[in-house]
Structure 1
Amino acid sequence: MQTVTVQIRLFPRDPAIMKEMGNEYIHTVNHLTEQAEASGAFPKVTSKDVEANLPSAVRNQAIRDARSIHNKTKKQGKRPILKRRAYYVNNQNYSFGDSNVSFPVMMNGKVQRLTVSVRITEREQRLLFSNKLGLLRVVEKSGKWYVHIAVEIPTEPLTSGATMGIDLGLKVPAVVVTSTGKTQFVGNGRQNRYMRRKFQARRRKMGKLKKLSAIRKQQNKEHRYMKDQNHKISRKIVNMAIEEQVSVIKIEKLTNIRQTTRTSRKNAKNLHTWSFYQLQMFIAYKAALAGIKVLEVNPAYTSQTCPACSKRNKADDRTYQCLCGFHTHRDRVGAINIMRQPGADGNSLSA
């Protein structure tokens, strides 16, 4: 089973209602976590015990969210304060039509169903109307409204087939190698760096003029550009995996990547503007839909170890040369060794 999030654009006639509900929801969750923190334990409460201008079903969801945050707080030692407006509805209390979504809100002191127009693509219709739906979240981004719906998709993993290794980087976003002998360099790192410099230059210029709203718009444009690139790269990779009858994709474990960038070969001033994690997630859910398993592996020394004799050598720029005679592109060496690595502690990114 694979869970994916479907984002659908909303076209509300009265956004003020959704703003009010979103603010009330976040306020309620924060208030409940503050109470739990003060008493040292999360209280046993029901929707009747919670004073909030929210439908009872939504108050129940707020209680579940607050309890989850409190449990995480005990492990992490710090309580996060929710600031971004959001409104959550469980799958028993919303419904979809071909061109609208309906969910409960409070209006004039009464619970009423708010029906909002939506734009649903054919792909989204297939996902929504043929799979189990989970939590719905209403959010606002740059003045536009969306719903995010968790969708559980049953998958049938392939039992046999080839293996694929993927090396992620900045100069080449993804280098892919399969056990069938195919290699592919996916994405245009030079173009991505050019676009990032372009966005950064615009933000610096706007910063001098103190145009904060324009800076945020440029940041959103950059995020949309990078997200689009990640979608295109992941689609090419999974299409290649399907063509080569790959049953397992192996990708480097990126846990704590921000803490390890000082010694990583990927250390660059703009490393964190490229979402390696997002690309991983896109590959994982697209692969899951095709019945392909995605495993994380330990990336240690994968770009230094010779695939032919196992000796470690440092690459000269982008070329890897070993005394045994083996030579190829450095990132291809990384992809080959990632393909051959066992899964890191059995971790899997797909169901």
Structure 2
Amino acid sequence: MTDKLVRTVCLKLHPDKPHLLDELRKNFRETWNQYINHIKELGTTNRQRLEEKKVEHNLLENTRQCARDKARESVKSFFEIKKFDDEATFPSPKDEPMTAKLNYRDGYVFRGDLSVRISVRAGDRVYSEVSGSQKDMRYIEKALNGEYSFGTAEVVKKSGEYYLHVHIESEDTPTVQDQEESTYIGIDINEGNIVATAINTGGEVLRTLMLDYSPLKKIKHKHFIIRKRLRDNDKNLKGFDKERHRTNNFVHKISRIIVEFAKEFNDPILCLEDLAHIRKEIRYSKKMNRRLHSWNFAKLGKYIKYKARWDGIFVQEIDPEHTSQMCPVCGDIEKKNKNGRRFECHRCGHQDHRDRNASLNIGLKGMKNFLGNVPSLKNFPSFRKVRWMASGLVNRPTEDIIQMSCLSSGSPSALPSG
């Protein structure tokens, strides 16, 4: 069974009865709170066991089930975080109205004029015009025309305004048109940077993109210390959602830059490390373990994959074993080949930036999976490390950021700067 592609579009609501949306969010919270308590009491997130528990609610039955499932997801997320963060706390009942999750048709329906009907409870409905970016409105039109389908949606209130976050689904999956003519792009994701290197089947290293985001780990560590102190003193953590929002925004932007970089090449195939394998293999000190696990390797990889697939780019996951230790020129594998951020092969003398070297090997592994063998590499063009979080750069256009890092493939072979 093929995984569905899911894209979230954000639409502003202009409701005729905004007070009913507030009631919906309050009722959803009360139902969610009851399920959180039931899960804690039962010691399980089993759907069947939860259905046996009585829940008082003022929601449509379908929306009540959404509240149940959202509570289950919150608890499952807690147990995942608990594996690497001893300070994680079990979800507690909420005091404020919360984002309400709705299923299509029962909970919300788009009409032909692009307005939306939201069902609050039996007999109570909210009708609303919607507004959004041209791109997002096109997705809604295509879903209405049958090109895509509507998934769940969430009613959100922010700064007094109401929004509908709609999941648009597609079952189209990218395919490889011509393996011999494709460009293989190896992606190496690290705690402090991401590197993408494009290689063609003739052995030419076309371009390398390196984005440095190392300041992010300092921000996350600072917030970790503050959260720990607040927890130790039983203080409210509500104000520290900023870290999560900032990280999510960062992941969205970085993944978009990587996909736009890939689109510059002929029939690109993105080769990504198997990120689940990375997280499983991390075994360091408790402090380093927390830093690496809490840094969203999996989320960044997931966003790159789904954005690439929406743009028709094939993605394959690669076993990352030895990618940072192997020489792409002679194939030698030695731990001592790594020297800080540099790679130096002790057999043939080849030198490169350690992370660019890993991205090359990831791309070559992807090529080997398709073609059965790989060509000898002909060149190693220079590139610049872009400090993406430097002042003013975060909001620069994607194409500007790519150009800042990449030099043309005709540049002489040289060691990268930075």
Residue number in structure 1 paired with 2:316 = 295
Residue number in structure 2 paired with 1:147 = 164
Q: 1:319 to 1:142 in 2, by over 3 A?
A: farther
Following superposition, the deviation at residue 150 of structure 1 comes to 2.0
> Letter of the aligned partner of 2:354 in structure 1?
R
The 5 A counterparts of 1:272-283 are: 272-283=293-304
Aligned counterparts of 1:144 and 1:207: Cα–Cα separation in 2: 30
Asked if 1:157 corresponds to 2:178, the answer is no
Please provide the CA RMSD for this pair: 4.4
Aligned counterparts of 2:65 and 2:323: Cα–Cα separation in 1: 48
Question: Could you report, residue by residue, the CA deviation over 1:1-42 in whole angstroms, capped at 9, with x for unpaired residues?
Answer: 52223344557733531332212442575688799989x993
Alignment counterpart, residue 123 of structure 1, candidates 127, 131, 135: 135
- Secondary structure of 1:308 counterpart: coil
Alignment counterpart, residue 17 of structure 1, candidates 23, 32, 36: 23
> Letter of the aligned partner of 1:321 in structure 2?
E
- Secondary structure of 2:275 counterpart: coil
- Does the 8 Å CA contact 2:39/2:50 hold for their aligned counterparts? no
- Does the 8 Å CA contact 2:31/2:55 hold for their aligned counterparts? no
Q: TM-score, normalised by structure 2?
A: 0.62
Residue number in structure 2 paired with 1:58 = 63
Q: 1:298 to 1:156 in 2, by over 3 A?
A: closer
Following superposition, the deviation at residue 60 of structure 1 comes to 6.0
Following superposition, the deviation at residue 335 of structure 1 comes to 0.8
Aligned counterparts of 2:102 and 2:290: Cα–Cα separation in 1: 40
Following superposition, the deviation at residue 162 of structure 1 comes to 1.6
Residue number in structure 1 paired with 2:339 = 316
Question: Could you report, residue by residue, the CA deviation over 1:142-168 in whole angstroms, capped at 9, with x for unpaired residues?
Answer: 987643322113355342222111001
Residue number in structure 2 paired with 1:6 = 9
Aligned counterparts of 2:296 and 2:50: Cα–Cα separation in 1: 40
- Does the 8 Å CA contact 2:27/2:57 hold for their aligned counterparts? no
Asked if 1:238 corresponds to 2:259, the answer is yes
Asked if 1:339 corresponds to 2:339, the answer is no
Question: Could you report, residue by residue, the CA deviation over 1:200-230 in whole angstroms, capped at 9, with x for unpaired residues?
Answer: 499489959x7956x643x333333333332
Aligned counterparts of 2:12 and 2:235: Cα–Cα separation in 1: 25
Residue number in structure 2 paired with 1:349 = none
Aligned counterparts of 1:337 and 1:309: Cα–Cα separation in 2: 12
Question: Could you report, residue by residue, the CA deviation over 1:29-81 in whole angstroms, capped at 9, with x for unpaired residues?
Answer: 5688799989x9938989xx986422244346568x49x98xx9xxx9xxx97
Gaps of 5+ in 1: 347-351
Alignment counterpart, residue 151 of structure 2, candidates 129, 134, 143: 134
Q: 1:183 to 1:270 in 2, by over 3 A?
A: farther
Asked if 1:92 corresponds to 2:105, the answer is yes
Asked if 1:102 corresponds to 2:117, the answer is yes
Q: 1:263 to 1:338 in 2, by over 3 A?
A: farther
| Identical-residue share of aligned pairs (%) | 27
- Does the 8 Å CA contact 2:177/2:267 hold for their aligned counterparts? no
Aligned counterparts of 1:205 and 1:82: Cα–Cα separation in 2: 17
Aligned counterparts of 1:212 and 1:306: Cα–Cα separation in 2: 51
Aligned counterparts of 1:82 and 1:220: Cα–Cα separation in 2: 16
Asked if 1:326 corresponds to 2:350, the answer is yes
Q: TM-score, normalised by structure 1?
A: 0.73
> Letter of the aligned partner of 2:314 in structure 1?
K
Deviates more, 1:151-160 or 1:25-34: 25-34
Q: 1:123 to 1:309 in 2, by over 3 A?
A: same
- Secondary structure of 1:237 counterpart: helix
> Letter of the aligned partner of 2:141 in structure 1?
F
- Does the 8 Å CA contact 2:186/2:360 hold for their aligned counterparts? yes
Q: 1:118 to 1:187 in 2, by over 3 A?
A: farther
Aligned residues: 324
Question: Could you report, residue by residue, the CA deviation over 1:96-138 in whole angstroms, capped at 9, with x for unpaired residues?
Answer: 47786431113xxx53112356542212111222121112233
- Does the 8 Å CA contact 1:99/1:119 hold for their aligned counterparts? no
- Secondary structure of 2:263 counterpart: helix
Q: 1:118 to 1:177 in 2, by over 3 A?
A: same
Following superposition, the deviation at residue 319 of structure 1 comes to 1.0
Alignment counterpart, residue 42 of structure 1, candidates 48, 56, 60: 48
Aligned counterparts of 1:287 and 1:17: Cα–Cα separation in 2: 39
Q: 1:183 to 1:36 in 2, by over 3 A?
A: same
Gaps of 5+ in 2: 81-89, 143-147, 371-418
> Letter of the aligned partner of 2:341 in structure 1?
R
- Does the 8 Å CA contact 2:183/2:198 hold for their aligned counterparts? no
